[in-house]
Amino acid sequence: MDFIFERKINYYETDKMGIVHHSNYIRFLEEARCKMLEQFEMPYSSFESNGIMIPVLGVNCSFKHHVTFNDIILIEPYVKQFNGVRLTMGYSITNKKTGNIVLTGETKHCFTDTSLKPIRLQNHIPEFYEKFIKLQNN
C-alpha cells in the first residue's frame, strides 16, 4: 500500500541561494498527503462533506540535502500513528536523480467537527477509520 508522489520543483519555490526555500516543504507535504488520501479513496472533500475537519497540530522537518529548480522529488507519505482521534503522518522526500534523502518529517493532526471539537472518526466514517488502521499496520 505504498504511495509515492512525484513533483517537479518550480523556479518560484527557490530562494536567493538557488535552493528550495524551507517554507515550501510544508506545502509539499500537504500536497502529498492530499494525493495519498485521494489514492486510497479518502479525499479531503469527503471528510468535509461529512462535517469533519483535519487541522494540523504540528509539523517537524529535518533537512538532509537541498534541491533546486527543475529537480524532481519523490515524496513518500505514510501513516505513522493513528488512534481514531489523532493522526501522525510520516514523510520522506528523495531527490529522484541523486537518490539523496532531502527531508524526513512528520505532521500531527486530529479529527474535529466544524466547530473544531475533537471527534472519533470511527463514529462518523467507519470505513475511513478502517482504512487508516490498515495503512498504519502496513
DSSP three-state, residue 108:
strand
User: Domain 5-136, what fold?
Assistant: Thiol Ester Dehydrase; Chain A (3.10.129)
pTM here is 0.94
pLDDT one-digit tens code per residue, 34-91 = 999 999 999 999 999 999 999 999 999 999 999 999 999 999 999 999 999 999 999 9
Q: How far apart are the first and last CA of the chain?
A: 7
- The CA distance from 67 to 61, in Å, is 15
Domain spans in the chain, listed from the N-terminal domain onward: 5-136
- Assign 85 to helix, strand or coil: coil
CA–CA distance, 18 with 119 (Å, rounded to integer): 43
Contact 53, 110 (CB under 8 A): no
What confidence tens digit (pLDDT) does each residue in 6-24 have? 999 999 999 999 999 999 9
